[in-house]
Amino acid sequence: MRLNGHGPRPAAITNVFSVDVEEYYHAAIFRRGTRGLGHASLESRVARSVDRLLDLLSAHGARGTFFVLGDIARRHPAVVQRIAAAAHEVACHGDDHADVSALTPAAFRADIRRARARIEDAAGQRVVGYRAPNFSIGPSEQPWAYQVLVEEGFLYDSSSFPIHHDRYGQPDAPRFPHHAWTDGASRLVEFPISTVRLMGVNLPIGGGGYFRLFPLSWIRHGLHHVNARERQPVMFYLHPWELDPDQPRPPMPWSNRFRHYVGLKQLAAKLTGLLADFRFAPAREVLQLESGRH
């Protein structure tokens, strides 16, 4: 893997398929729309959603990186075990989905330590990757987060989304893997969620709500452009709950309802088409990092 444009590039591009393993009620749009309604009053559905996703990936010979919440590993260790048993990478998504921007450096360190211990205990696999809930690390606001991650033994981060967005986004951030933090031999690689640049603007092609909203032809075109024209791998992501159109639908404002539920019924078919057209592997393999095994 070359960083910052240096080094050889293989002829065939393998992309990263990543999953933020959380419940539907962890989503920020859901939480805001229901004023914090959570697991005390809503059923857990993460196990069946993850199993459906694992079956889809297996059918296409695809492997990926699953960024797991520590709370999910604590409540559903068997889910994490099934992910690891299917030869996927297990990574960290924080402990209880708290935004890094709401934490102090000390609280952030405690959060990732607690989460990582729970995830590694369930997976039997060393965790070397991290993604902040809601992409909530701002390089200018929380630059200390990268150093904390390195000090805690993480090798890469995937918390940057170089787009304009009402809740997150760093439109001027680098679009491809790069070193977010270095100190002598210590360094942290940042692997941003992917975009395609048209007329000076970064447009999202890397998954999430945009994958549910946009036609598959647009996503395909964007991935082909990044792979074939820019010779770079794509970081694609989604959530297991996006494969669950039958999840509960409590009252919430129409804008929150639209953003959370749009495209759920079509997602499995769109994902099947994407998996058939592109090569996907875990982030640590695409970045050529250590295996992560104990």
Domains held by the chain: number: 1
pLDDT of residue 138: 80
CATH of residue 219: 3.20.20.370
**The one-letter amino acid at 133:** P
Model's pTM, two decimal places? 0.93
Say if 255 falls within a structural domain. yes
pLDDT of residue 198: 86
Residue 3 Cα distances to 119, 156, 178, angstroms: 29, 12, 5
Say if 253 falls within a structural domain. yes
Alpha helices in the chain (DSSP H): 28-33, 46-59, 70-75, 77-85, 105-123, 144-151, 209-213, 216-224, 254-261, 267-277, 283-286
Say if 4 falls within a structural domain. no
Say if 103 falls within a structural domain. yes
CB atoms within 10 A of CB 160: 25
Say if 74 falls within a structural domain. yes
Range of the domain at 207: 15-286
Say if 5 falls within a structural domain. no
25 and 31 in contact (C-beta within 8 Å)? yes
Say if 56 falls within a structural domain. yes
52 and 75 in contact (C-beta within 8 Å)? no
For the chain, 294 residues long, the average pLDDT of each consecutive 10-residue run is: 47 90 94 81 94 98 98 98 98 96 96 98 96 87 92 96 70 89 90 91 90 94 94 97 96 95 96 96 92 42
Nearest to 136 by CA among 178, 113, 107, 177: 107
15 and 223 in contact (C-beta within 8 Å)? yes
pLDDT of residue 228: 94
